[in-house]
């Protein structure tokens, strides 16, 4: 019975998300630093609906550029991009360089 409820909830959530094409980087959260990796942070981009990795990449690029400038970095490298289904977001691991 619980499995049926979870499937139903998942289908409802997916159908609501399909009507929305929104993308929001971090929801106002600061990036999280990665322990034992200097100048390396995780950024989250929450997506909905038809938004895919290309939309998330464009959204995070703005945040990364701002973070780079505001913190005195000269460049950055995206080390990894991971997708999370529920809640739906892409998580970027980014290393900044002075």
pLDDT in tens, 39-90: 999 999 988 767 788 989 998 999 999 999 999 999 999 999 999 988 889 9
Confidence of residue 1 (pLDDT cuts 50, 70, 90): low
At 51 the pLDDT is: 75
Ramachandran quadrant class, 36 (left: phi over 0; alpha: psi -120 to 50; beta: rest) = left
Res. 7: pLDDT tops 80: no
Helix, strand, coil percentages in the chain from 3-state DSSP, rounded to 5 = 40, 35, 30
At 47 the pLDDT is: 85
Q: Both tokens of residue 4?
A: 């049926």
Mean pLDDT of 30-43: 93
At 18 the pLDDT is: 42
Which residues make beta-bridge pairs with 78?
Answer: 94
Q: Do 31 and 60 touch, CB atoms closer than 8 A?
A: no
Rounded CA-CA distance 22/48 in Å is 5
pTM for the whole structure: 0.71
Domain residue spans of the chain: 2-97
């Amino acid at each position: 019975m619980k499995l049926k409820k979870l499937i139903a909830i998942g289908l409802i959530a997916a159908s609501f998300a399909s009507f929305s094409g929104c993308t929001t980087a971090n929801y106002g959260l600061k990036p999280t630093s990665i322990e034992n990796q200097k100048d390396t942070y995780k950024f989250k981009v929450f997506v909905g609906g038809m938004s895919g990795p290309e939309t998330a990449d464009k959204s995070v690029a703005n945040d990364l550029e701002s973070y780079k400038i505001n913190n005195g970095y000269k460049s950055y490298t995206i080390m990894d991009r991971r997708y999370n289904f529920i809640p739906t977001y892409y998580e970027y691991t980014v290393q900044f360089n002075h």
